[in-house]
Amino acid sequence: MKFNTKDEANVYQAIGQNIKKYRKLKGLTQEQLAEEIDYSLSFISGIESAYHQTFSIAALWRISVVLGVSIDKLCVVNNNNNDIKFMLYQCDHCGLVTKMPINIVKHFKNIYELAGNNKLPTFDCTECDGKLIPVPQANSNNI
């Protein structure tokens, strides 16, 4: 499989733009958001400018909680494109259903494959201690 670093940069840029959008909608400055999630101002600034491209899912989760939006909203690659493809995930404990952008699922699947795991990625549930697992769909084989 060939990796395209431009595609990865686009994902980080989209996440940064979405964080900035929801932060402003919530009326927060970068400094206020940084204080709320207990990270530095330069960390938030770096994410929003797409300069900082190594942040954890836990950091993304903290940001989503403070901004009051689900992680999938922060990961939408193109907000103006209604053709964005999603994959449904459901918590194996509380039943929460969320949509994960296919691009994000593919990105983590590639990481899994590098570690020798050919399964679709799972994620920690934001509502409980359960795991978000992929809901079987006909298009799952296309990932």
Q: State pLDDT tens for residues 24-65.
A: 999 999 999 999 999 999 999 999 987 767 788 999 999 999
Residue 88 falls in which region: left (phi positive, over 0), alpha (psi -120 to 50) or beta = beta
Claim to verify: residue 65 and residue 99 sit in the same structural domain? no
Q: 53: domain CATH number? A: 1.10.260.40
The reply to whether 26 falls in a domain is yes
Q: Residue 101 pairs with which residues in a beta bridge?
A: 86
The domain total for the chain is 2
The reply to whether 23 falls in a domain is yes
Q: Is the pLDDT of residue 139 over 60?
A: no
Quickly count: other Cβ atoms within 10 Å of residue 112's Cβ: 15
Q: What is the tens place of the pLDDT at every residue in 54-111?
A: 788 999 999 999 999 999 899 887 645 445 588 899 999 999 998 888 888 888 888 8
Structural domain containing residue 40 = 5-74
Claim to verify: residue 94 and residue 117 sit in the same structural domain? yes
The reply to whether 79 falls in a domain is no
Claim to verify: residue 50 and residue 93 sit in the same structural domain? no
Half-sphere exposure of 75 (CA within 13 A, CB side): 24
